A and B are shown apart, each in its own frame.
Chain A
Amino acid sequence: MMEWLTRPWPWYVAGPLFGLAVPVLLLLGNRAFGISSNFRHICAACLPRRAAFFRYDWWKVGGWNLVFAAGILVGGVLGGWIFGNPDPVAISSQTTADLQALGVQDFSGLHPRDLFSWSELLGLRGLLLVVVGGFLVGFGTAYGGGCTSGHGISGLASFQLPSLLAVISFFAAGILSTYFLLPLIL
């Protein structure tokens, strides 16, 4: 039992569990699975003199989703910390070699600590990866109307063409950035 809690799960276990989020949230109250809306709800909740995009009853519309998001954070504490996997992530040897060639040295955790730490934020590299990257995630998901969950799972599962377009664009831009932009930053 303990081993099952600490060991990483294969894709054929994790994937179907993610998929079940869609029916479970529908059954719990007809809610559409999608995480990036929470950025909008936070803006609607916190900002004074809001733009029209943020003028709605954020608690009524998004209260459940903010609570769901808080749950994800706690799930992260349980999965990554309390029942954390002590071994490095078992990526392909080709990826390891490519990343080593880019100067990544720490392969021990979920994210490389030599790139993602508070002290790195003081430098240009950390600023680009975390702050600019985070900004683009927020701007892009708001503009594009969803992220990996809202378009990638909910949208594709309900056969929505806009979501297919968005997912193709996610991957095209992600692959291009990985090969051409990331080497300039790392």
Chain B
Amino acid sequence: MSSSPHTTLRRLLPFFLVGVAFGFTLVKGEVVSWFRIQEMFRLQGFHMYGVFMTAVPTAALSLLLIRRLGLRDEAGEPLDLPPKEMGTGARYVIGGGLFGVGWALTGACPGPFLALTGAGVTVMAAAIASAVVGTWIYGLLRHRLPH
């Protein structure tokens, strides 16, 4: 891809701005809070479940609308999310489970790691670094794990 720094910036700026809006909403919706995550995993409050139960239908309806309108990108490909391969399903159960343990321990998932670091809980930068190491170790062990 040959593009000048100027066009690269123009292409990427919208993603940055959507990220800013997303990070701001993560904090304002208190989704980044260890206390909210505790309330969620203890099944003692509706807040987090309300977030998921409105986020998913909003995304689903938008996606159906995009498909119905037949929207396409510059290359002519339909706008859509890539399908996920089921395989044996083991990766979703085991990998998902390990992530769940990490979510409970840190009280945050990857988006909130970033938003919290910005919001002043800077120790979450250590969680990000650790997550990168975890991903790297997975990359090394990948061929030995059931998928």
Contact = CB atoms under 8 A, between A and B. Distances in A.
Interface of A: 7-33, 35-36, 38-40, 42-43, 47, 50-54, 60, 63-65, 67-81, 84-85, 88-89, 91-92, 94-95, 98-99, 107, 109-112, 115-118, 120-121, 126, 128-149, 151-163, 165-175, 177-179, 181-182, 185
Nearest to B49: A11
Contacts of A11: 29, 46-51, 54
A25 B16 CA distance: 11
B104 A138 contact: no
Contact of B24 (A75, A131, A141, A146): A75
Contact of A95 (B19, B20, B39): B39
A8 B56 contact: no
B17 A71 contact: yes
A19 B38 contact: no
Contact of B23 (A79, A120, A173): A79
Contact of B140 (A51, A71, A149, A159): A51
B99 A137 contact: yes
Interface residues of B, number: 115
Interface of B: 1, 11-12, 14-36, 38-60, 62-63, 65-66, 71, 73, 77, 79-86, 89, 91-111, 113-124, 126-140, 142, 145
B51 to A, nearest CB: 4
Contacts of A153: 52, 55-56, 59
Contacts of B136: 43, 47, 51, 54, 138
A47 B65 CA distance: 41
A181 B16 CA distance: 37
B130 to A, nearest CB: 3
Nearest to B8: A63
A92 B113 contact: no
Given A72-B111, A153-B55, A91 B36 contact: yes
B12 A149 contact: no
A17 B25 contact: yes
B101 A79 contact: no
Contacts of A74: 16, 19-20, 23, 118
A69 B19 contact: yes
